[in-house]
Every structure is written in C-alpha cells, then in structure tokens.
Amino acid sequence: MNEHILECINLNKKIGKKQILHDVSLTIDGGDILAFIGPNGAGKTTTIKLILGLQSITSGSVIINGYDIQKDFVKAIERVGAIVENPDHYMYMSGYRNLKMIANLYGNISEERIKEVVKLTGLDKRINDKVSKYSLGMRQRLGIATALLHQPNLLILDEPTNGLDPEGIKELRELLVKLAKEEKLAILISSHNLSELESFCTKACIIQNGKIIETAKVSKLKHLSDIETYSFEVKTTTGLKKLLPKDAEIVDETHFKILGAKEDVAKLIKKLIEKDIDIYEVRRLETSLEDAFLKKTGGNTID
C-alpha cells in the first residue's frame, strides 16, 4: 500500500492555556488538490505552519513522504514547496534572475530545470522582463515557479488568489490542475474563494474551531445531507420576507432562494398558497461548495 504524500495525525496546538487545534488529521495523495476551508480563526494557517515546521507541534505528527517533520525535518521538508500569502520577489530584477538566485541557494538546480518550471508556469514570453512589470497573477505564477524549482511532490498554498482579478484566478486554476495531473503533485490550498475552489479541487477538508468536521470528495461533500437549495419564482417578493425562513435570500422582485429539505419546501408552498401568493415555479438548484460549507458549519461564514 502506497504511503500518503502528506499525513497529519491527531495534530494538537496549544498556546498558553488556549487550545488552537484539536486532533487535526488529514491526508493528501499525488494528484489530489485538497481545499482546506474554514471560517477565519478556525486553524487553517496554524495547521499549515505546523506542516511546514514553522511552529512547534504540541502533540501529534506530520508525516511527509514517510518522514516525521519533528524527527527528520530536512528529509521531510526537502520535497515540499509552499507559498504562504503573497510571494516576495525582487521587483527590480527579471523573473529569470529571481529564479536563478533561488536556484543558487539550493546549489543543485540545473539551468534545464529553471527552463522547465518557466515553461510549466507559462512564463516563457515574459521571464526576462522585470517583475515590476508583471501583473499580480504573473507574480503569483513566478512564486509557484520558485516553489517548484527543487521538484517537490507536495505544494502548499495559503490564500493564493488574494488580490487576483478573474483572469489571474483562471490562470492559477489552470496551472494547479496541470501540476496535479501532469506532475502528480499533491496540492493543499487554503482559500476563502469557495466558488473558485469548487471548480478544480478534488477533495475538501472543513475545519471549524480547530477541529476537522468533514473531509470528502467535493462531489460527495455537496450531497451529505437532505438539505438542498431551492429557487422560487413568485408574482412579487415585496413584503414576503416575514413569511420566509430567516436564512432565505431575496434574489430580485420575483425570485427568492431557501436552504431546506423537501418537507420544508412543501410546508412553505402551503403557507404561501394560504396567503394567496402566486407561485410560478419551484426548482431545486445544484448545491454549491459554499452551501455545503454553510450546512456543515451551521451557517458560519467563511470571511
């Protein structure tokens, strides 16, 4: 049986008397893109710092490629690439010079490998331009190129889409999918952009109050309960708010959405008919990752 590339086993982190993480466990295999999601303060960044050895572990283990991060840090971390928040670059230097400088620090990175990561990240045409002329999306790709120089098989990204425009997010998404598929990288990505994560992540892990509350394939996570999103079309939504569940969303003058089970929908339809509200259509919408997140966390917002 193949070992997981990353395995966190019952991770606990305590600062003073405050327990930050409670028995956090997760695994990632080659080709996986794991969305690590949770409200602010849930423990995402702390978990990432423990994985990278940036903070001490109170108890539990982080195993990377079979090596324990606490017992054999160098072996454990040598095939890990990471970007925590926005990557730093020397803006007055070219993209190539930035990569070359990092390659020199490793000491064993060939010119051929630099060319490989430039091509892999789609920076071929602009690699000799100064980084100050790069868009934010290009700088993010340069950061990933830097993280890939030493041929890692685990890539960890903390909020990589922060500040990116839609085009930059699209480019990053396509790059990560390519890396997972062609390079068989295991990728852990923490982000608030749930709608974007849903489009390319294979698995999702939800953390709340320092505890993992669900880990599953994205497709399965969206259907873990009988609660679904329903769209109603009525004659008018004016004055309707008081008749609807408190979490109902008024979309426009004739449409609203609710989260509920089939039985809830039936009861609401009956109530609206009794109040002489004309109902033209009721549709079940496909559950989004954000809907699934809200169900599992009891409505705890991600931002």
| Tens-place pLDDT, residues 67-124 | 999 999 999 999 999 987 667 899 999 999 999 999 999 988 999 999 999 998 989 9
The answer to whether position 211 is within a domain reads: yes
Interval 52-60 mean pLDDT: 96
Same domain, 101 and 246: no
* pLDDT of residue 162 exceeding 90: no
Calculate helix-pair angle for 136-148, 95-106, nearest 10 degrees.
Answer: 20
Same domain, 44 and 59: yes
Return the pLDDT at 303.
46
Return the pLDDT at 137.
86
Return the pLDDT at 1.
42
Same domain, 25 and 151: yes
- Strands ordered across the beta sheet of 279-285: 249-250, 255-260, 228-234, 279-285
The answer to whether position 100 is within a domain reads: yes
- Which pLDDT tens digit goes with each residue over 112-159? 999 999 998 989 999 999 999 999 889 989 999 999 999 999 999 988
* pLDDT of residue 2 exceeding 60: no
- Whole-model pTM: value is 0.78
Query: Which residue range forms the structural domain that includes residue 168?
Result: 6-221
* pLDDT of residue 254 exceeding 60: yes
Same domain, 13 and 104: yes
Contacts of 246 (CB under 8 A, 6+ apart): none
